[in-house]
Amino acid sequence: MAEAPEFGLFVDGRWSAPPGARRFETRNPANGESMGSFVSGTPEDVRAAVGAAAKAFPAWRDTPAPKRGEILLRVAAEYRARKEEIGRIVSREMGKVLSEGRGDVQEAIDFVEYMAGEGRRLAGETVPSELRSKFCLTVRQPKGVVACITPWNFPTAIPNWKIAAALICGNTVVFKPASNTARCAVEVVKAYEAAGVPPGVLNLVTGPGGSVGNALVDDPRVRSISFTGGVETGREVYVRGAKRLAMVHLELGGKNPVLLMEDADLTLALDGVLFGAFGTSGQRCTATSRLILHEAVYDRFLDLLLKRLERFPVGDPLDPKVEMGPVASADQEQKILEYIRIGRSEGATLRTGGEKLTGGAFDRGYFIAPTVFETRPGSRLATEEIFGPVLSVLKVRDYEEGVRVANEVPYGLSSSIYTRDVNRAFRAIQDLEAGITYVNAPTIGAEVQLPFGGIKNTGNGGREAGSAAIEEFTEIKTVFVDFSSKLQKAQIDPVAP
């Protein structure tokens, strides 16, 4: 087998590996192919990266935002030129099918271009003063050094959601990617390097969440932490950051429902549920993990779904005929199989799948059959995030019960309703407890120009993407300009009408 290509850390504009550094490898979850060897960063590496980012900050902050935008446009052009190549790396390292690997890169391109445009907006507000000859406005200022900590499931899109938004606002960044997808992270950073981002503005430290992540979260020079990942890690990062009053933005898990009503277009819904539940092998924070089915169409829809799953191609993610690749790692496989055991033990009815796929090429990777359980509200299967190709189906009598079931989980990221009744669709937009609601579309499919995030345990109130991303990475300064040439006292001086 060919030797794994070696990659270093990217600090202060240079790729380097500290002498004697420990290393780790990432592997293709479909066949074990090595994707590269990476430095297992240490707290000292983090300190150096934060130091470089702190040093680069004043000049980057003072670079006009439209100029920062021009660099981002070059980043997007790099991704565009290398889309096929990077898309393949995404599929090989993370396991999503090639169309989705390309889609991951396309989302990065879309977002970086969108943020480049923000360089000509970064809008504040102007409002009237209660005094004469006084001007009141707000301006946006960068926060300083920010840490971007990202998961493996969108290994080029999510890092760019954070990095491009942080940079356009004038922050400098230390990026700590998921260890599973370190190669994708290297490709993400290479585009910024090629685009001419000045040294220290973007730094990459690979290595374990425990040591690299903690060192980043603890460093007093890091003003803000943008984290996407699981609830338990997110809670740890939040609490740790809170101890030193760092700003922490969290995007966490989901348990997203499709509410399928008796008047739905079942053919349309079938495609949506299949894509929502089994796209990216169910490893999307917005994956459809619960199908809440009206009793009038319950048997009919379930039959349609199971029939389609009889010929749902699972296999090598680079094969264009395949619709679902492997899950991302051995740990993922174990966790998902454990949930399948839990489902069985709590009395859910397994309708299809429920096992690791074996034999032939399957033996070289982590493949799980698309799995459907009929289960009941309140069960662990129907409540906890599985993050795999496991769909829980729940039967309800009517819309009201459907909404109750949809809302009785601790998460609130995405949601969907299939109905032809426009009144009911608008009621669902009001009633579903989630940051995102789709009507007649699955729970997945975010677009970068709109805010993304959730309520309840899905996060702590912020939003990524869209213009909302600017909120995450700027501080607001309020400015009063008094041009009256005298002392004027708000709330005290009388002002004649």
| Pick from 4, 43, 6: nearest CA to 27 | 4
Cβ–Cβ under 8 Å, residues 293 and 393:
yes
Q: φ and ψ at 294, to 5 degrees?
A: -65, 140
Q: Name the one range near ligand NDP by CB under 6 A: 33-41, 197-205, 212-220, 273-281.
A: 212-220
Nearer to ligand NDP, 31 or 214 (CB): 214
Burial of 342 (0-12, 13-18, 19+ CB in 10 A): middle
Q: Is 256 in the site for ligand NDP (CB under 6 A)?
A: no
Chosen residue from 42, 91, 156, 233 binding ligand NDP by CB under 6 A: 233
User: Active site includes 285?
Assistant: yes
Binding residues for ligand NDP restricted to 179-198, rule: CB under 6 A: 179-180
Strand ranges of the sheet holding 474-482, from the earlier edge strand across to the other edge: 126-127, 134-142, 474-482
What is the contact mask toward ligand NDP in residues 428 to 467, using x (rule: CB under 6 A)? ------------------------------x---------
Chosen residue from 72, 413, 448, 469 binding ligand NDP by CB under 6 A: 413
Query: Which residues, in sequence order, are CB contacts of 114 under 8 Å at separation 6+?
Result: 448, 449
Strand partners, 316: none
Cβ–Cβ under 8 Å, residues 216 and 147:
yes
d(CA 241, CA 236): 8
Nearer to ligand NDP, 92 or 176 (CB): 176
Strand partners, 209: none
Q: Is 200 in the site for ligand NDP (CB under 6 A)?
A: no
Closest approach, Cβ 420 to ligand NDP, in A, equals 30
Q: Is 252 in the site for ligand NDP (CB under 6 A)?
A: yes
Pair of tokens at residue 142: 């960068």
Q: Is 314 in the site for ligand NDP (CB under 6 A)?
A: no
Rounded alpha-carbon distances, angstroms, from residue 332 to 70, 278, 366, 455, 460: 39, 15, 9, 25, 25
Q: Are strands 34-39 and 23-27 parallel, antiparallel or unpaired?
A: antiparallel
Binding residues for ligand NDP restricted to 42-81, rule: CB under 6 A: none
Closest approach, Cβ 246 to ligand NDP, in A, equals 12
Nearer to ligand NDP, 286 or 419 (CB): 286
As a whole number of Å, the end-to-end CA separation of the chain is: 84
User: Active site includes 25?
Assistant: no
Closest approach, Cβ 133 to ligand NDP, in A, equals 47
Chosen residue from 178, 222, 357, 403 binding ligand NDP by CB under 6 A: 178
Chosen residue from 151, 272, 343, 389 binding ligand NDP by CB under 6 A: 151
Q: Is 313 in the site for ligand NDP (CB under 6 A)?
A: no
Q: Is 214 in the site for ligand NDP (CB under 6 A)?
A: yes
Q: Is 285 in the site for ligand NDP (CB under 6 A)?
A: yes
Nearer to ligand NDP, 238 or 399 (CB): 238
Query: Which residues, in sequence order, are CB contacts of 22 under 8 Å at separation 6+?
Result: 39, 40
Closest approach, Cβ 29 to ligand NDP, in A, equals 13
* List 251, 323, 333, 472, catalytic entry: 251
Report the C-alpha dihedral over residues 408, 412, 417, 423, rounded to 10 degrees. 90
| Pick from 269, 268, 310: nearest CA to 288 | 269
Binding-site size, ligand NDP (CB under 6 A): 31
Strand partners, 38: 24
Binding residues for ligand NDP restricted to 10-49, rule: CB under 6 A: none
Q: Is 230 in the site for ligand NDP (CB under 6 A)?
A: yes
Strand partners, 25: 37
* List 107, 285, 333, 472, catalytic entry: 285
Binding residues for ligand NDP restricted to 375-404, rule: CB under 6 A: 385, 387
Cβ–Cβ under 8 Å, residues 148 and 159:
yes
**For residue 105, how many C-alpha atoms fall within 13 Å in the half-sphere facing its CB?**
29
| Positions that interact with ligand NDP (CB under 6 A) | 149-153, 176-180, 208-210, 213-214, 217, 228-230, 233, 236-237, 251-254, 285, 385, 387, 413, 458
Catalytically annotated residues:
251, 285
